[in-house]
């Protein structure tokens, strides 16, 4: 959504305007659904961006093509992080903490198959002794020395083909109990299950899980 503030164009990334809001699917767990939708959107539009650059090469078409690649990798990383439990902060959404993303109790045993499949994808597309999540982090998350001269090849077709069935299974299995808002207040886990958490998380005083 674009608005104008003092003559400047401001792009508001509103998760409540999730891409699937125009469909009949429930608009729930907006952060996760947004990540899934945007991964699929980037994959769906990538070939068009590539074709546009091949037909009319320019700095602009090249930048659009690269932007689409980076968008795909960003959302791929975030979803791998969720399904392989790459949580550092209490506020991080990971599949093993369903109290943060579901409105009903979830048997973690029902998540294990998804976790195993995601870990296999993460390992399959990793290189140089690191998994895919870490490889993407080194190149996209922030500026690093790994982003030096030379091309970096990403098997986007394979990555998407292997991850999307996991996303579909997650939606099928848990779509009806996803939290309707990121701010839904739900009881925390029982004390005996809460051994890894100390205090509460806030923007000014985040608490680490580990």
In a domain, 35, yes or no: yes
Whether 20 has a pLDDT exceeding 70, the answer reads no
Q: How many CB atoms lie within 10 A of CB 80?
A: 24
Average pLDDT over residues 77-81: 97
Residue 173, CB-side half-sphere exposure with 13 Å CA sphere: 16
- pLDDT tens for each residue of 27-37: 346 788 889 99
Model pLDDT, residue 30: 77
Tokens 């990540």 belong to residue: 35
Q: Which residue has the higher pLDDT, 149 or 115?
A: 115
In a domain, 76, yes or no: yes
Closest CA relative to residue 119, chosen from 90, 85, 96, 87: 85
Model pLDDT, residue 180: 53
Determine contact, residues 114/124, Cβ cutoff 8 Å: no
- pLDDT tens for each residue of 162-176: 999 999 999 999 988
When pLDDT is cut at 50, 70 and 90, the band that residue 24 belongs to is very low
**Total of domains in the chain:** 1
Q: Which residue has the higher pLDDT, 151 or 100?
A: 100
Model pLDDT, residue 112: 96
For residue 43, what are the domain limits? 28-187
Backbone Cα Rg of the chain: 19
In a domain, 209, yes or no: no
In a domain, 16, yes or no: no
When pLDDT is cut at 50, 70 and 90, the band that residue 182 belongs to is very low
In a domain, 121, yes or no: yes
- pLDDT tens for each residue of 109-132: 999 999 999 999 999 999 888 999
Distances (CA, A) of 20 to 15, 16, 25, 33, 172: 11, 10, 7, 8, 15
Average pLDDT over residues 75-88: 95
In a domain, 44, yes or no: yes
In a domain, 195, yes or no: no
10 Å CB burial of residue 166 (0-12, 13-18, 19+) is buried
Give the C-alpha separation, 132 to 119, whole Å. 10
Give the C-alpha separation, 148 to 11, whole Å. 30
Model pLDDT, residue 140: 85
Average pLDDT over residues 86-94: 88
> What is the SS3 assignment for 162?
helix
Model pLDDT, residue 13: 53
**Per-residue DSSP letters for 81-109?**
HHHTT---BTTS--TT-GGGTBSS---GG
Pairing relation of β-strands 2-5 and 8-11? Answer: antiparallel
Model pLDDT, residue 82: 96
* pTM for this prediction: 0.75
**Per-residue DSSP letters for 125-141?**
T--TTS-HHHHHIIIII
Tokens 């970096």 belong to residue: 152
Model pLDDT, residue 75: 96
Q: What percentage of the chain reaches a pLDDT higher than 90?
A: 50
In a domain, 146, yes or no: yes
């Amino acid at each position: 959504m674009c608005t104008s503030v003092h003559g400047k164009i401001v792009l508001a990334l509103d998760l409540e305007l999730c891409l699937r809001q125009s469909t009949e699917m429930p608009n729930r767990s907006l952060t996760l659904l947004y990540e899934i939708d945007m991964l699929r959107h980037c994959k769906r539009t990538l070939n068009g961006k590539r074709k546009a650059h091949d037909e009319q090469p320019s700095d602009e078409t090249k930048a659009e093509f690269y932007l689409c690649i980076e968008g795909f990798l960003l959302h791929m990383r975030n979803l791998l992080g969720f399904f392989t439990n790459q949580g550092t902060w209490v506020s991080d959404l990971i599949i093993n903490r369903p109290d943060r993303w579901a409105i009903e109790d979830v048997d973690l045993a029902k998540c294990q198959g998804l976790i195993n499949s995601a870990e296999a994808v993460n390992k399959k597309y990793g290189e140089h002794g690191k998994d895919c999540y870490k490889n993407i982090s080194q190149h996209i998350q922030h500026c690093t020395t790994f982003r030096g001269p030379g091309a970096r090849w990403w098997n986007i077709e394979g990555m998407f083909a292997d991850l999307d069935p996991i996303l579909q299974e997650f939606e099928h299995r848990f779509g009806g109990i996803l939290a309707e808002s990121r701010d839904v207040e739900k009881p925390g886990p029982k004390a005996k299950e809460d051994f890894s958490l100390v205090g509460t998380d806030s923007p000014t005083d985040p608490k680490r899980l580990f």
